[in-house]
Structure 1
Amino acid sequence: MFRIRRLFDTRLSSDQRVMEQVQGILREQFPGLSDKDVNKLPQQLENPLKHKFRAVLYVAEGVRSGVKGFALLLHEPQLGFDYLDYISAATNMTGRGIGGALYERLRADATAWSSRGIFFECLPDDPELCKSPKHRAQNRSRLKFYEQYGARPINGTAYETPVKPGDDSPPYLVFDPLGSQEPLNQNHAQVIVRAILERKYQQHCPPEYIEKVVHSFTDNPVQIRPPRYLNPETCKPPQHRELPEDEKIILVVNDQHDIHHIRERGYVEAPVRIRAITRKLLPTGMFREIRAKRHPEKMLKRVHDQGFIRYLKAVCLHFPEGKSVYPYVFPIRNQARPPVDRAIRAGYYCIDTFTPLTANAYPASRRAVDCALTAANSLLGRQRLAYALVRPPGHHAERRSYGGFCYFNSTAVAAEFLSAHGRVAVLDIDYHHGNGTQDIFYRRADVLTLSIHGHPRFAYPYFTGFDDEMGEGEGLKYNQNYPLQEELEGGGYRKILSQALQRVNKFKPQFFIIALGLDTAKGDPTGTWSLNGEDFFANGLLIGKLHLPTLVVQEGGYDSRALGSNARQFFQGLWAGTFLE
């Protein structure tokens, strides 16, 4: 038994071990490769600009026995093609269906990417090109394997001309049209072949050789060798691509969110928010829902003041069901002596007058933290994307205060948890400044905090979020705010988002957390901007293109009519940026 997944990078130690096994198979099965070629594989995954292809590494893993095989596909989205660089089972795993399973998976992916086809090299089965009968037999076996998928060598070109005259077994260029009946256009083929030779073989192929090969593609359409081993009617079409488990977005919903329900007119942070989002997300097939696991209170204490935690727990425990208390006394003159009465003491810990305390504020927000931690933990395994769909929100909760409908800062607790495994960047894209997250990490350099929001001169919380708040001590220059004008459309927003993502990229985090506010949408009762569904898709796409393990934690967004569709658009963009771009 084995499963196939994509390996995106080696940020996690577990993935470093997988990469070492892949490199071991490379050395065993491709003994002619130099150490330089083997060792550059991690950089190919992490730096596509340098290597001029987006490298996609597939690994076939056993439950206990490690890597059984791998395939390395080079994806070129602008030119619309894929190049299969390597595919191999481990030495003791050949003939067990691993190569076929890997090839079918990458074919399904290439089809989903709307690729024109997959190109790769195969050693020749022609006696004039391969002198060894033994090697010809091995080559025939490989070509027969690929022929069952409709992949056959391109005819009538100089591609199989040896770079050094007299060399034996120059490779064919094989083309898999992925089931398409559309002929391969000459001009497109020339562009693709040039890209392959110049980007992959520039050190081995002199310019005059490359020109000779490119210009040898004179047929239009390009001629593909007729089937030699199998009946073309038996060719396998690409499989319908259902999302593999490792590409699904982990979804953790706060199953206790609705116990916190303020039934007062004008209180927009209502349970309908979660229902509106799940109704639109679950039918997409992009999500795998898991239940939140209970986490110890010590996780809360790592970001919140213990006295604050004790107070919130105790005051909520003693409230009668259905009763709400709003802060109305704020003892700023003598903070050392808070009021004795718990209800009156609310203002000692609160930053506003519209966030009530109820019997269920503590358990609901405590469960939201469990959801965020459960989703964050999935990023330490095989998942790239996770979503904690929680209410109440959390990004306004500071180390020792609550407010803005927020009691505990779920985003900050998740960031603290992940920071034990590598650098973390938190980007808050709620309409309102993430003052709580800023406060908690303001003096730290291992967690980068950024927030794009309405300027505090007109937007809650009014007292933080200015662009000169850049951190203190070790955290100096590790906090960045982008306060924006009162009226803003999607294009202007994306310019700022691109700047923030450049800052994230420069930080080189192991993990990325998005504090997702959907209150940037047109018509939201708490905001003044006018982003639409297409804007949310585009924003998600930009974020996904960073290809980082990403946790999304739900914050604001209060127009229930558009909330679900905007969330769906955002996650479809995020998924596409992560897995298709």
Structure 2
Amino acid sequence: MQTVFSSIQLRHAPVHEISDGQVKAAVETPSRAEAVLAQIRDRRFGSVVPPFEFGPRALRRVHSQSYISFLETFWERWTELGRDGEAFPFVWPIRSLRQEPLPDHVDGLLGRYSMDAGTPLGEFTFAAAKASADTALTAAQLVLEQGHPAAFGLCRPPGHHAGVDFYGGYCYLNNAAIAAQWLRDYGASRVAILDLDYHHGNGTQSIFYERSDVLFLSIHADPRQEYPFFLGHADETGEQAGTGFTRNWPLPYGTGWTGYEPALEEACRWLVVYRPDYLVVSLGLDCFEEDPIGGFRLTSEDFKRLGARLARLNVPTIFLMEGGYATATLGINCLNVLQSFEEARRELAA
């Protein structure tokens, strides 16, 4: 299995984040990608290739032009005000406040285009996010056009919390949605996205919520207890043409493999029924028992079971990195999924 990654993705290097009501050291840092790359090298798990640079159309198929323009021009507007540090929003257009017309001031735009106060914007954020999206697109291209049975996009920053016109949860461009839409645009009739991050992929769900050509399945922490709090309940199943094509399995804090596996099996049954041409896996590894911002109890061995189970679906698969913040073991857990997937796939083909 080939891995796609660009060193440009390392240029987004947050120092701080706001969480639990406090300014803390950032957890979504370049060290995450570096840990995975080290394991790929140590285990000799195939080649690492740079992404192709895709044009703006692929982004605009998912995100609004005004939002993309905001990300592209943000740093210039920020520094014009004499500011040079990481940016965080502090006001949002909620409930009785208006979203349009757009504010002229950058502080207003930060609130208009964000969903939380914990996701910093910096000088190289957009460049890294664009390279991360190109990484996802190149992984999809390896599978669709070059016939690879699977590929891994080492996407960093992650993407599944980003919506059509907002960022949050360390996510700026929705890599999984961009890849899924590209697959549809270039020949796939049906695409499925299986989101395995500890946190619900609210952005991905919202993008495809009214569509039947992209199935969205998510296993995650109960939003009554965990971020993003306001989406990811079991009764969210799609609307209009998308009715029945979204499925959520919110699980309680402390869930281990014995509680996780039945949800995974049910999600796999939905995939068998849907029969997608391609499967995009939002591979969040923050379900790990030692993750600093997760609350599930999956072990490193459980990630091997996860990879082997996905291989049995026998669907061309694009793995895209999402969360996972236990840096010391992140590479091990990631490669446990990917290597077990490869081994099980070869056994099935034998």
TM-score by length of 2: 0.92
Percent of pairs with identical residues: 36
SS of 2:106's equivalent in the other structure is coil
Matched letter for residue 177 of structure 2? A
1:402 is the counterpart of 2:167: yes
Residue 317 of structure 1, CA deviation: 3.7
Asked if 1 retains the 8 angstrom alpha-carbon contact of 2:151 and 2:318, the reply is yes
Q: Which of the pair has more CA radius of gyration?
A: 1
- What displacement does 1:287 show? 1.8
Q: 1:314 is matched with which residue?
A: 73
User: 2:24 aligned with 1:259, yes or no?
Assistant: no
- How big is each residue's C-alpha offset from its partner over 1:447-486, in whole Å with a ceiling of 9 and x where there is no partner? 1001100000111100000111111111110011110011
The 5 Å alignment of 1:54-453 reads: 249-264=1-16, 265-320=24-79, 323-332=85-94, 333-380=97-144, 381-420=146-185, 421-422=187-188, 423-453=190-220
Instruction: Please tell me the residue identity of whatever aligns with 1:376.
Output: A
1:467 aligns with 2:229: no
Conservation of the 8 A alpha-carbon contact between 1:467 and 1:483: yes
C-alpha distance in 2 between matches for 1:281 and 1:491: 29
Displacement of 1:348 after TM fit?
0.6
Q: Which residue number in structure 1 is paired with residue 250 of structure 2?
A: 483
1:292-343 deviations in Å (ceiling 9; x for gaps): 1100001000011111111111113444496211010112211113321113
* Alignment partners' CA distance in 1, 2:172 and 2:119: 9
- The Cα of 1:386 is off from its aligned counterpart by 0.4
Amino acid at match of 2:199: H
Q: In the aligned structure 1, how far is the partner of 2:77 from the partner of 2:121?
A: 11
CA distance in 1, matches of 2:37, 2:261: 26
Work out whether residues 252 and 291 of structure 1, in 8 Å CA contact, stay in contact via their aligned partners in 2.
Answer: yes
Q: Within 1, Cα distance between the matches of 2:213 and 2:93? A: 34
Residue identity opposite 2:153 in structure 1: A
Letter in 2 for 1:455: D
2-structure distance, mates of 1:541, 1:314: 43
Partner of 1:549: 316
Counterpart residue type for residue 115 of structure 2? I
- Aligned 8 A contact 1:281 1:567 in 2: no
SS at match of 1:343: helix
The letter for the 1-side match of 2:335 is R
CA offsets, 1:400-442, max 9 Å, x none?
1110000000110000011132211000000000011101111
Aligned pairs, number:
333
**Distance of aligned partners of 1:252 and 1:341 in 2 relative to their CA distance in 1, 3 Å threshold:** same
SS, match of residue 147 in structure 2: coil
CA distance in 2, matches of 1:444, 1:344: 32
Deviation at residue 491 of structure 1 after TM alignment: 2.2
Q: Residue type matched to 1:328 in 2?
A: F
| Other-structure match for 2:20 | none
Once the two structures are TM-superposed, the CA of residue 553 in structure 1 deviates from its matched residue by 0.5
Is residue 264 of structure 2 the alignment partner of residue 497 of structure 1? yes
Q: Which amino acid aligns with 1:394?
A: G
The answer for the alignment partner of 1:117 in structure 2 is none
Take 2:283 and 2:333, find their aligned partners in 1: how far apart are those partners? Answer: 11
Q: Contact 1:546/1:578 (CA < 8 Å) preserved in 2? A: no
Q: Which amino acid aligns with 1:348?
A: R
Amino acid aligned to 2:50: R
Give the 3-state SS of the residue equivalent to 1:372 in structure 2.
helix
| SS of equivalent to 2:42 | helix
The 3-state SS of whatever aligns with 1:529 is coil
- Give secondary structure in 2 for the equivalent of 1:512: strand
Runs of at least 5 residues in structure 1 that lack an aligned partner in the other structure: 1-248
C-alpha displacement of 1:562: 1.2
Partner deviation per Cα, 1:168-209 (whole Å, 9 max, x = no partner): xxxxxxxxxxxxxxxxxxxxxxxxxxxxxxxxxxxxxxxxxx
- Asked if structure 1 preserves the Cα contact closer than 8 Å seen for 2:78 and 2:106, the reply is no
Counterpart for residue 21 of structure 2: none
Contact kept, 8 Å, 1:300 with 1:413, in 2: the verdict is yes
The 2-side partners of 1:414 and 1:287 are apart by 22
**What CA distance in whole angstroms lies between the structure 2 residues aligned with 1:494 and 1:576?**
20
Shift of 1:258: 1.5
Q: What displacement does 1:557 show?
A: 0.2
Check the 8 A contact 1:513/1:550 in 2, yes or no. yes
CA shift, 1:266, in A, is: 2.3
| TM-score (ref. length: structure 1) | 0.56
Which residue does the alignment assign to 1:97? none
Checking the alignment, whether the CA contact within 8 Å between 1:487 and 1:530 is kept in structure 2 is yes
Deviation at residue 262 of structure 1 after TM alignment:
1.1
> Any residues of structure 2 matched to 1:37-56 within 5 Å, and which?
none
